[in-house]
Structure 1
Amino acid sequence: MTQRQFGNVTVETVQGDIANQPDLDAIVNAANAELRMGGGVAGAIHRAAGPGLEQECIPLGPIKPGQAVISGGHHLPNAHVIHCLGPVYGRDKPEEKLLASCYREALLLADQNGIVAIGFPAISTGIFGYPIEEAADVTLKTVAEVVPGLSNVRTVRFVLFSESDKAVFDRALMALPADL
């Protein structure tokens, strides 16, 4: 685990399964617009949560790239799931602003709902094609800018699927200036 402190908030990276983070109040789903099961992260979260998650989410959609909504965790060990629709790289413009919006909106929703510890995947880096290095830079810069203004959130964890993705996020996290 790699960690950095930004104000009162610890930002950390781990390699693991986003749907198996029992010490977090909420996890973030890299959702599709309709908030349905899908593949990748969305599929893993929906399978672990059970069918009630999709039933709760259908009326919340569709959402647009950069938007976030919150639901219960159902059979997950987390009380909440925050669903974000990341941009499809090369199609949804401007990609950087839309990706940053996902993280900003999710963190603000978490804070408004009293969430102390939240876990994120690398949104848009799978089938949506966002290059992992660019995504890590945008993501971590956004998180470092947002977290000092939060009242409740104290832990932001990036749960990366592969060791190589974790290494990219580690480098981006350590490259951030201390005084953002």
Structure 2
Amino acid sequence: MKVEVVIGNIASQPDAQAVVNSANANLRLGSGVAGAIHTAAGAELEAYCRPLAPLVLGGALTTPGFGLPSPRIIQVRAPHFLNNDQLELHYERAILSMMDALRIHRIASVAIPAIGIGVFRFPPALAASIMARVRSEGAAANPTLRWVRICVTSEERRAVSASAFGAVHEGQA
């Protein structure tokens, strides 16, 4: 499985079958990743998500992409670093839930943000190391998944994720 880490807009990944949203419990428009994805997908996404909320901590669910170039969105809820206990356990569950959703929907290509490191304040290096480990451990269970693109917003975050994943810097996307 190919893993690449890029500085890029998670909402503009036309070659990905799915993008991952770092979702809030209410599955609503937020700031950061949730804001970018909801804005690009359009009002239909929030209307679709309303009856599905709240998303359990560490949970994931799949929605249509609506106005996004990717046909699916995997909504993932990570823990808030300042407000939740058992942070690493909940973060790992969130990544496992995401991997399960990718397997169930037979997704071959996915763009993933640095989940939970913005408003939820999860430390970027810890988030990247947990995500890399869980993705690696779960790779055999999902032979359909061919490539993963980690989309980050800065060179510093790209370096942290690339180090954790042992991935090659692929530029911007």
Q: Secondary structure at the match of 1:159?
A: strand
Letter in structure 1 aligned against 2:38:
H
Q: CA deviation at 1:151?
A: 3.1
Structure 1 runs, 4 residues or longer, greater than 6 Å off: none
> Which of residues 87, 94, 100 is equivalent to 2:92?
100
Shift of 1:60: 1.3
Corresponding residue number in structure 1 for 2:31: 39
Q: Which amino acid aligns with 1:134?
A: L
The answer for unaligned runs of 5 or more in structure 2 is 168-173
Partner of 2:149: 157
Q: 2:67 aligns with which of 75, 83, 99?
A: 75
Alignment TM-score, normalising by the size of structure 2: 0.92
Q: Secondary structure at the match of 2:121?
A: coil
For structure 1, the 5+ residue unaligned runs are 1-8, 176-180
Determine which structure has greater relative contact order: mean sequence separation of CA pairs < 8 Å that are 6+ residues apart, divided by chain length: 2
Superposition deviation, residue 64 in structure 1: 1.8
Please give the alpha-carbon distance, in whole angstroms, between the structure 1 residues aligned to 2:135 and 2:56: 20
**Contact 1:65 1:92 survives alignment (8 Å):** no
What is the distance in 1 between the residues matched to 2:166 and 2:144?
24
Please report how far the alpha carbon of residue 59 of structure 1 lies from its aligned counterpart in structure 2 after TM superposition: 1.2
What's the counterpart of residue 62 of structure 1? 54
Alignment match of 1:84 (pick from 76, 79, 96): 76
RMSD: 1.2
TM-score by length of 1: 0.89
What is the number of residues matched between the two proteins? 167
